[in-house]
Amino acid sequence: MITSKILSAIMPGAGRRADTFLVPLTDAMTRFDIDTPARAAAFLAQVAHESGQLVYVKEIWGPTGSQRRYEGRADLGNTQAGDGKRFMGRGLIQITGRRNYLLCGRGLGLDLVTMPELLEQPMAAAASAGWYWQSNNLNRFADSGDFKALSIAINGRNKATGLPNGWDDRLKYWARAKVALGVAA
């Protein structure tokens, strides 16, 4: 369904990473039922935003104030000292927190709690994005064309504006993905 040309059209800043991630993304999309042009456009747009056009498979660590708050967050399963940094966002949709690493690892058959860095490898990075997509039933948003709700489900909303975090950037990638994949506007 996708080619490196399509990936490059959606993510022009990806460069050679479009070739590197073509097979991993194709495999993940097949495995996790991201199997229509509308689903693929929504998925690839979210991946483009979350990974900075396939550049980042690991969260840039400051630590920022938000990142400092990962430590001790029971909702993320970060119950042991150091979990906040150890289980920072990784993969193409940035899996975050001990609990999510555990669940994702089970879903992918990988020991991500012991080896969280596996999510920095192309196959696991793409598979984790597909796993997250399917585990959170995100095809329902892609199927209905509700890109705003999809974006909120992935990365919340800006408290001041109520819009999804990174909204303008996500919309830019979604527009490119719809054109590249022939999805009606």
**Could you state, in order of their start, the residue ranges of all structural domains in the chain?**
4-56+137-181
- State how far the Cα of 6 lies from the Cα of 116, in Å rounded to an integer: 30
State whether residue 1 is helix, strand or coil.
coil
- What is the band of 1 on the pLDDT scale with cuts at 50, 70, 90? confident
* 4 class by beta-carbon count within 10 Å (0-12 exposed, 13-18 middle, 19+ buried): middle
Average of pLDDT values for 159-182?
A: 96
> What pLDDT digit, counting tens, does each position of 44-93 carry?
999 999 999 999 999 999 999 989 999 999 999 999 999 999 999 999 99
Average of pLDDT values for 159-184?
A: 96
CA distances from 173 to 13, 46, 109, 147, 180 (A): 11, 8, 31, 11, 10
- What is the band of 184 on the pLDDT scale with cuts at 50, 70, 90? confident
pLDDT value of position 185: 72
pLDDT value of position 142: 97
Average of pLDDT values for 149-164?
A: 95
State what percent of residues in the chain have pLDDT above 70: 100
> What pLDDT digit, counting tens, does each position of 125-134 carry?
999 999 999 9
pLDDT value of position 134: 98
Dihedral (C-alpha) 97, 110, 129, 8: value to the nearest 10 degrees?
130
Name the residues annotated as catalytic: 50
Task: Write out 46-101 in H/E/C secondary structure.
Answer: HHHHHHCCCCCCECCCCCCHHHHCCCCCHHHCCCCCCHHHHCCCECCCCECCHHHH
pLDDT value of position 138: 98
Q: State residue 58 phi and psi, 5-degree precision.
A: -140, 135
- Please check the confidence at residue 16 and state whether its pLDDT lies above 80: yes
Per the rule left: phi > 0, alpha: psi between -120 and 50, beta: everything else, 2 is: beta
Contacts of 56 (CB under 8 A, 6+ apart): none
